[in-house]
Amino acid sequence: MTFGLGLNVHESVGDVARKSIVAEALGFDYVWISDSPSQLYGPIVGAVVAAKTSKIKIGLGVMSPFLHSPKQIGATLNTLVDAYGPRFELCIGPGDRMQLEHVGIHLIRGEKLTSKMAAARKEIASLLKKADCLEKIWLGAQGPMMLKIAKTFDGVLINFSKPEMIEWAIREVDVARNTEIGVYVTSYAYSTLNPNIRKLAKVPAAVVALGASDSVLKRFGLYSKLRNARKLAEVAPNLEKILNQVPGEVMDEFSISMRISQLPTYLTQLKRLGVSHVVFGYPQNSSLQTVKELGRTIRKLREI
């Protein structure tokens, strides 16, 4: 099992670079750098991280083909590999619907969406192949239609945390084609609970929950619990009011929140399900202390 740390590109590039240096020193296999309309451009941050580190893998994504064309994504990855070597991997996905709408991009739905993603993967892979740069391309997915096309990717990153939800998602993926299974979720693993950091986890977990497909929410009995929050998000995009309508137990379905001592048991469950890559997302990266706290357990986690 390999482990990644999701970096928060809302921070300064310097802070992100410092945390990536610490992550490498502590034995993380990957750092993952997100990309969205409201954040710093992920590949630029990736270049700084690559310049400041020597061996840690750098994941870029989720990058949306609706925000950046496949040609742009492929060219960017080729440029990074030319400059810093074959340390980069890519995760593509549609992106967060609400964030994209803020910049005038409206996602298509259904089969048109999955066809767009499959075509983007094919075009990007072709560009990388021509440049002799066969880096791994992951798909960011959670809904059944997106999971169905995951078999055409090198790996799939699922943003569920509960083993029963992950198990269902894996069944939707044709693992016979050796698609690597990973999870990338909001995380806060701690020795001593800091309520302020725990509170930070509510926003990204709620965003994922609210963006989940109706079929997923209904399957796991979450649809009715999120009905009020989803309606409010459509008419009054006030984050604080929306969060107040999201029950705490729902957010726990989309985050890793536990004591460090509980992680080995949890990760053993995931490994038994077929998960081979785990990315600890924000707010695990909220401070050097929280990064170090998790990083110091990496060697023990490798024994799972």
Across the range 158-178, mean pLDDT stands at: 85
245: pLDDT strictly greater than 90: no
**Is residue 177 domain-resident?**
yes
The per-residue pLDDT for 105 is: 67
Across the range 276-294, mean pLDDT stands at: 94
The per-residue pLDDT for 142 is: 85
**Is residue 222 domain-resident?**
no
Q: Phi and psi at residue 279, in whole multiples of 5°?
A: -110, 120
* Per-residue pLDDT tens over the stretch 18-56: 999 999 999 999 999 988 777 778 899 999 999 999 999
The Cα 294–Cα 276 span in angstroms is: 18
Among 2-16, 103-117, 165-179, the range of highest mean pLDDT? 2-16
**Is residue 216 domain-resident?**
no
The Cα 137–Cα 290 span in angstroms is: 29
Residue 284 in 3-state DSSP?
A: coil
Q: How many domains does the chain have?
A: 1
**Is residue 237 domain-resident?**
no
| Unique residue bearing structure tokens 């069944």 | 171
Of 62, 35, 46, 37, residue with least CA distance to 13: 46
141: pLDDT strictly greater than 60: yes
Model-wide pTM > 0.85: yes
Across the range 251-279, mean pLDDT stands at: 92
Residue 288 in 3-state DSSP?
A: helix
| Unique residue bearing structure tokens 């002799």 | 132
Mean pLDDT, all residues of the chain: 88
**Is residue 73 domain-resident?**
yes
58: pLDDT strictly greater than 90: yes
Residue 202 in 3-state DSSP?
A: helix
115: pLDDT strictly greater than 60: yes
* Per-residue pLDDT tens over the stretch 9-28: 778 899 999 999 999 999 99
* Per-residue pLDDT tens over the stretch 79-110: 999 999 999 999 999 877 667 666 776 776 77
**Is residue 61 domain-resident?**
yes
Question: For position 177, which CATH number holds?
Answer: 3.20.20.30
The structure tokens listed for 4 are 């990644």
**Is residue 129 domain-resident?**
yes
**Is residue 229 domain-resident?**
no
More confident residue, 134 or 218: 218
Question: Residue 73 belongs to what domain range?
Answer: 2-192+256-301
